[in-house]
C-alpha cells in the first residue's frame, strides 16, 4: 500500500501520454505555444508501462490516461491493452476532448477501457469555438454519442467561465441528465498559461445557478473522489462539483501524476517533480520504486488555490496540458 507523509493512501495514478493537443482551450494553453517537448524525450508506452506495473504492484488500483489530448498518441489502444492485460480489474479510464473519439471508441472499449471523462464546455458552436479556439462542437458531440453507443461509461467535465459559458450551466446539466450521464462542474484553476482575462466561477456561484431551476441536496464526497456530489430533488439526478479552492479539498487526496516525459508529480498545483525516466529506460524496477517512495514522502499537505480565486498571486505555474488536470 502507498501511504504519503500525511497518512493518505495513494491508489490513483494519472498518466499523461502527451502534452500536445488539437485544441487551445483558453483556460489551459497559451494561444501561441511555445515549443513542444521533442518527441524523442517522450517515454515509450513500454517505458511508461514499466512504471505503471511498479505502481500497480505497490497499491495503485485506479489509472487515468490523459494529456494534452491522449487520442493524438498513435496506438493508444495498445497501451490500454497492456495495462488491462496486466490487471484486468483495474479501474482504467481516459480523459479526452472527444474530437477524435468517434472513430476509435470501439477499439478503446475492446482494449479494456472502462470509462471516459469528456470535456464539454458549451453546447453552442460559437462558444465552444471561442473556448477551444477551433470549430469543435459537432465532432465532440458525435464522439460522445459514439462512446455511449459502444457502451463506455461517460462523465462530462465543464469549466464554467464568467461571461463566456456561465449561462449554459443549466443547459449542460440537462443535456447530461437527459442522457443519464454524470456532469462534474470544475472550478477554473488559475494558472499562468491560461488567458489572463478569464474569470472562473466559484462552486457556490455554480450551485446558485443550478438552484434557479432545481432544489438540490448535498451528498458529500464519494470516497477520495475530487468531486463533491449533489442530488436534484425533483428528478433524483446526481451531479458533481470539483472545487479545489475549498479548504478540505486536499484532505482525502489519493492521486499522483506522471507526465509523458516521466516526471512524477505529487500535487497538481506545484511544479515539484522527480523523474522516473532514467530508471525505466534502464529497466531499473528498484530505482523506479525508490522515486515513487520519495514522491510520496514529498507530497504536500494541500494546494494553494485559495477560497478567493481572484487572488492572482496564487496562480499556479503548473501547465494542465502537461499534467492532464
- Please report, as ranges, the residues that interact with ligand SF4 according to CB under 6 A: 21, 23-25, 28-29, 67-69, 97, 119, 320-321
Q: Is 316 in the site for ligand SAM (CB under 6 A)?
A: no
Spatial contact of 115 and 148, defined as CB atoms under 8 Å apart:
no
Of residues 242 through 271, those in contact with ligand SAM by CB under 6 A are: none
Q: Is 122 in the site for ligand SAM (CB under 6 A)?
A: no
Q: Is 132 in the site for ligand SAM (CB under 6 A)?
A: no
Q: Is 66 in the site for ligand SAM (CB under 6 A)?
A: yes
Measured in degrees and rounded to the nearest 5, phi and psi for residue 297 equal -65, -35
- The span of 4-12, 100-108, 256-264, 316-324 binding ligand SAM (CB under 6 A) equals 316-324
Nearest-angstrom CA–CA distance, 33 and 52: 30
Binding partner at 102 among ligand SAM, ligand SF4, none, C-beta below 5 to 8 Å by kind: none
**Sheet of 238-242, strand order:** 216-221, 227-232, 238-242, 182-186, 153-158, 115-119, 91-96, 62-66, 12-16, 255-258, 263-265, 274-275
Binding partner at 276 among ligand SAM, ligand SF4, none, C-beta below 5 to 8 Å by kind: none
- The cell numbers describing 46, all together, are 513500454
Binding partner at 24 among ligand SAM, ligand SF4, none, C-beta below 5 to 8 Å by kind: ligand SF4
Binding partner at 93 among ligand SAM, ligand SF4, none, C-beta below 5 to 8 Å by kind: none
- What is the secondary structure of 182-227 as a DSSP string? EEEEEPPPPBTTS-TT--B--HHHHHHHHHTT--EEEEEE-TT-SE
Binding partner at 191 among ligand SAM, ligand SF4, none, C-beta below 5 to 8 Å by kind: ligand SAM
Of residues 162 through 191, those in contact with ligand SAM by CB under 6 A are: 186, 188-189, 191
Nearest-angstrom CA–CA distance, 70 and 39: 14
Helix or strand holding residue 274 (H, E): strand 274-275
CB of 208 to ligand SF4, least distance (A): 25
Spatial contact of 210 and 166, defined as CB atoms under 8 Å apart:
no
| Secondary structure tally for the chain: helices H, strands E | 10, 12
Binding partner at 77 among ligand SAM, ligand SF4, none, C-beta below 5 to 8 Å by kind: none
Our CB check for ligand SF4 shows the closer of 200 and 292 to be 200
In 3D, which of 159, 141, 137 has the Cα closest to residue 149?
141
Query: Binding ligand SAM by CB under 6 A: which of 4, 47, 69, 81?
Result: 69
Residues that bind ligand SAM (CB under 6 A): 21, 27-28, 66-67, 69, 95-97, 119, 157, 159, 186, 188-189, 191, 194, 320-321, 324-325
Amino acid at each position: 500500500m502507498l501511504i504519503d507523509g500525511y497518512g493518505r493512501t495513494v491508489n490513483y495514478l494519472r498518466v499523461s501520454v502527451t502534452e500536445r493537443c488539437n485544441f487551445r482551450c483558453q483556460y489551459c494553453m497559451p494561444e501561441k505555444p511555445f515549443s513542444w517537448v521533442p518527441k524523442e524525450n517522450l517515454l515509450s508506452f513500454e517505458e511508461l508501462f514499466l512504471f505503471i506495473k511498479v505502481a500497480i504492484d505497490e497499491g495503485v488500483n485506479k489509472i487515468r490516461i490523459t494529456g494534452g489530448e491522449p487520442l493524438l498518441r498513435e496506438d493508444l489502444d495498445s497501451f490500454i491493452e497492456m495495462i488491462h492485460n496486466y490487471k484486468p480489474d483495474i479501474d482504467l479510464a481516459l480523459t479526452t476532448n472527444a474530437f477524435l473519439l468517434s472513430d476509435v471508441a470501439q477499439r478503446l472499449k475492446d482494449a479494456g477501457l472502462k470509462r471516459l471523462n469528456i470535456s464539454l464546455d458549451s453546447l453552442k458552436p460559437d462558444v465552444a469555438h471561442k473556448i477551444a479556439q477551433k470549430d469543435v462542437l459537432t465532432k465532440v458531440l458525435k464522439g460522445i454519442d459514439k462512446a455511449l453507443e459502444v457502451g463506455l461509461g461517460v462523465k462530462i467535465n465543464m469549466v464554467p467561465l464568467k461571461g463566456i459559458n456561465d449561462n449554459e450551466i443549466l443547459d449542460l446539466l440537462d443535456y447530461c441528465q437527459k442522457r443519464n450521464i454524470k456532469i462534474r462542474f470544475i472550478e477554473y484553476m488559475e494558472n499562468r498559461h491560461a488567458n489572463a482575462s478569464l474569470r472562473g466561477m466559484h462552486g457556490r456561484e455554480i450551485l446558485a445557478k443550478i438552484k434557479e431551476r432545481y432544489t438540490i441536496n448535498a451528498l458529500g464526497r464519494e470516497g477520495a473522489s475530487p468531486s463533491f456530489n449533489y442530488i436534484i430533488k425533483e428528478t433524483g439526478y446526481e451531479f458533481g462539483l470539483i472545487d479545489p479552492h475549498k479548504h478540505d479539498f486536499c484532505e482525502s487526496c489519493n492521486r499522483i501524476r506522471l507526465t509523458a516525459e516521466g516526471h512524477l508529480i505529487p500535487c497538481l498545483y506545484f511544479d515539484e517533480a522527480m523523474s522516473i525516466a532514467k530508471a525505466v529506460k534502464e529497466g531499473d524496477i528498484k530505482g523506479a520504486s525508490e522515486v515513487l517512495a520519495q514522491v510520496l514522502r514529498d507530497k504536500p499537505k494541500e494546494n494553494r488555490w485559495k477560497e478567493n480565486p481572484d487572488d492572482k498571486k496564487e496562480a499556479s505555474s503548473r501547465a494542465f496540458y502537461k499534467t492532464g488536470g
